[in-house]
A = this chain, B = another copy of it.
Amino acid sequence: MPILGIMNKRLILKKRPSGFPDSDTWLLEEQPIPELKEGEVLIQQHYVSLDPAMRGWMNEGKSYIEPIRINDVMRAGAIGKVIKVNNHSSFKVGDCLTGFGGVQQYCVTNGDNWHKVDEALAPMPMYLGTLGMTGMTAYFGIIEVGKIKKGDVVLISGAAGAVGSIVGQIAKIKECTVIGIAGGKEKCNYLVNDLGFDDAIDYKSEKVILALKEKCPKGIDVFFDNVGGEILDAALAHIRRHARIVICGAISQYNNTTRIKGPSNYLSLLVNRATMQGMVVFDYANRYHEAAKDISRWIQQGQLKSKEDIYEGIENFQETYNRLFSGDKHGKLVLKVI
């Protein structure tokens, strides 16, 4: 007998995709919610986060995190409210929690790795984006790995994306010259007019390598890369001495069925004594509060804009997921699942 008389809709990983996920990749099923054991809580999940990293989590093999197992719930960051508790030491009914609850409507958990947030301070979706993993990735990526300093020329790929748009705004706050690469005139206008980027390159209508020559005549100090492929190569060809390249992602390569395209221009690292460094946000977990404090202040002061693109219905997960890779989205992609 399901508790509360309700069923949990959840998305199961059925088959590891080769290239883009298809109709065999996931299965939406309904399950009764099990009784809570001692120390467990039941979270009604309102929103789940959609992130390009999900594509990697579905692959087999060693990575920075265990792959999702077949027949497990699809991994995703989530936010929701505690609706039932069986003697939990930290959480009570009504608490708003965020954690890796997966693509489902309800989550039973002992609360490990879930964090309480204040719904009065920001709307739930923002805790999945600018005040969540997305914001933390942007903050530590550009400040700690990119080591930006006043006056740096900062280039960002996937600049209108969830992470990229925050990276660029932080770099502006830190008094850098910021150039974003994005797909389409509308996104480029958004970067310059709404987010205050100094310039933008539309990779769909411009040749990035030529645009970089024109827009960064003295070269790039920091490149924050979410895209990989030809764009990474173009950036490598334009770095300055002692440049830092932050490898945050490589969305152009995630659905490859052939070998990933390595950066042919990597010897530019040698010529320019430059550094290319990978980052995983989890390494900064014990400093998230620092970032959250800065980011909240910047939002309050109107220096940083947070934009979420919210879709509805757990049954629309796949269609929404595809927007991560088609570029057909505006800001942080979030799905309301209940």
Q: A228 vs B268: C-alpha distance in the bound complex, in angstroms?
A: 13
Q: Beyond A262-B264, A264-B259, is A280–B270 a contact (Cβ under 8 Å)?
A: yes
Q: A228 vs B264: C-alpha distance in the bound complex, in angstroms?
A: 11
A275 touches B277 (CB 8 A): yes
| Contact stretch, chosen from A112-120, A154-162, A247-255 | A247-255
Q: Produce 1/0 per residue, A274-307, CB < 8 A to B.
A: 1111111001000000000000000000000000
The residue that A262 contacts in the complex, of B247, B266, B277, with Cβ under 8 A, is B266
27 of the cross-chain contacts (CB-CB < 8 Å) are A63-B271, A64-B272, A233-B262, A247-B266, A248-B270, A250-B267, A250-B270, A253-B267, A260-B264, A260-B265, A261-B262, A261-B264, A262-B262, A263-B266, A268-B278, A269-B276, A269-B277, A271-B278, A271-B280, A272-B278, A273-B277, A273-B283, A274-B277, A274-B278, A275-B276, A275-B278, A276-B277
Q: Is the interface of A mostly helix, strand, loop or mixed?
A: loop
Q: A60 vs B63: C-alpha distance in the bound complex, in angstroms?
A: 40
Q: A126 vs B267: C-alpha distance in the bound complex, in angstroms?
A: 28
Minimum CB distance partner of A260 in chain B: B264
Given known contacts A260-B264, A267-B278, A270-B280, what 16 new A-B pairs fall within 8 Å (CB)?
A63-B271, A247-B267, A247-B269, A249-B270, A250-B267, A259-B264, A261-B262, A262-B262, A262-B264, A266-B266, A268-B278, A270-B279, A272-B278, A275-B275, A275-B277, A275-B278
